[in-house]
Amino acid sequence: MVEVLGKRRFPVTELELFASARSAGLKQQTPWGEVAIEEYSDAAAGRLDLALLAVSGDFAKAHARKLAAQGVAVVDNSSALRLEDDVPLVVPEVNGDAIGNHKLIANPNCTTAILVVALEPLRQAFGLKRVIVSTYQAASGAGAEGMAELEQETRRVLVEGGPAGHSVFAHPLPFNVIPQIDSFQPNGYTREEMKVAWESRKIMGMPDLLVSCTAVRIPTFRVHGEAVTIECERQVTPEAARAVLARAAGVKLVDEPAAQRYPMPITATGQDDVEAGRVRANPVFGDCGLDFFLCGDQLLKGAALNAVQIAERMKLG
């Protein structure tokens, strides 16, 4: 988030970094020089114009509303408040107007943000009846610990010749894929899969949208891929869909199969825009069906970048 603030030249007059007592006193290099980390307190954070929260859901529940009530503009990256009726859930390219005068905004799940930035322009052009999505989610979606485990256990297999172990993930991730992210719900879907459905409906203002998701962890470090099938309300052709995606804000059309150009984690890493490609007609839904593939950097559009884009549209002070 700090890097994105600097890259986008956000008008920061003073940057304050808060963490737990364990990190207090440590110094962090930032685009505004070296900043000492402070132990969090509501009193200290209450002096801010803007607070970007990258914390646990419990912390957000305890402090986010309190800060907003003090006049601080708050963007919360946790899942705690996303479905609360009085807290807008925002992807600026899709529903930026929902920010209005609100002081507390929720940042969506990374997979959802990557999906809806491509879905919304297609919905506007062709209508939308149902969405089926399968995700290919990088180890970094589980945090720094997930990346470290993938590297360590891959090394164990390739260098030491031993079997891969696991503690962060439910199973060894090297040379494997795991069709479980988060806990299973009573309906057989995981919480990660349901977040895509719940949050997409709220962001797009379509409470009855039919959404089915299968979320899969794969052994890459960064960027989430998503294979998407949609049924539109009106006839859609791949050519028309490509034209819509090519001019959509936050989307980069990468769709030249003959040249073997399509969205991939290796090309989407570090990029602000979500790559979209492999656009083709889906015969299951006839003239109204469409398939496409997305890759988006979940640390940027799926988290830090989206949070800063929200902050850019909020009324500060």
List pLDDT tens digits, range 17-72: 999 999 999 999 999 999 999 999 999 999 999 999 999 899 999 999 999 999 99
Q: What is the pLDDT of residue 316?
A: 85
User: In this predicted model, what pLDDT tens digit does every residue of 83-101 receive, in sequence order?
Assistant: 999 999 999 999 999 999 9
Catalytic site includes residue 110: yes
Q: Does pTM surpass 0.75? A: yes
Catalytic site includes residue 232: no
Task: Give the CA dihedral 293, 295, 298, 301, nearest 10 degrees.
Answer: -90
Where do the domains of the chain lie, and which CATH numbers do they carry? 2-108+304-313 (3.40.50.720), 112-298 (3.30.360.10)
* Tokens 């705690």, residue located: 80
| CA-to-CA dists, residue 260 to 92, 254, 277, angstroms | 31, 10, 11
Kindly tell me the burial class for residue 212, based on how many C-beta atoms sit within 10 Å of its own C-beta (0-12, 13-18, 19 or more).
Answer: middle
Q: What is the pLDDT of residue 315?
A: 84
**Residue spans of the chain under pLDDT 50:** none
Q: What is the pLDDT of residue 201?
A: 98
Which residue in 63, 213, 224, 288 is the catalytic one? 224
Angle of helix 110-126 relative to helix 238-246, nearest 10 degrees, comes to 120
Q: What is the pLDDT of residue 317?
A: 67
Kindly tell me the burial class for residue 178, based on how many C-beta atoms sit within 10 Å of its own C-beta (0-12, 13-18, 19 or more).
Answer: middle
Tell me how far apart the alpha carbons of residues 117 and 218 are, in angstroms, rounded to a whole number.
Answer: 22
Q: What is the pLDDT of residue 40?
A: 95
Q: What is the pLDDT of residue 206?
A: 98
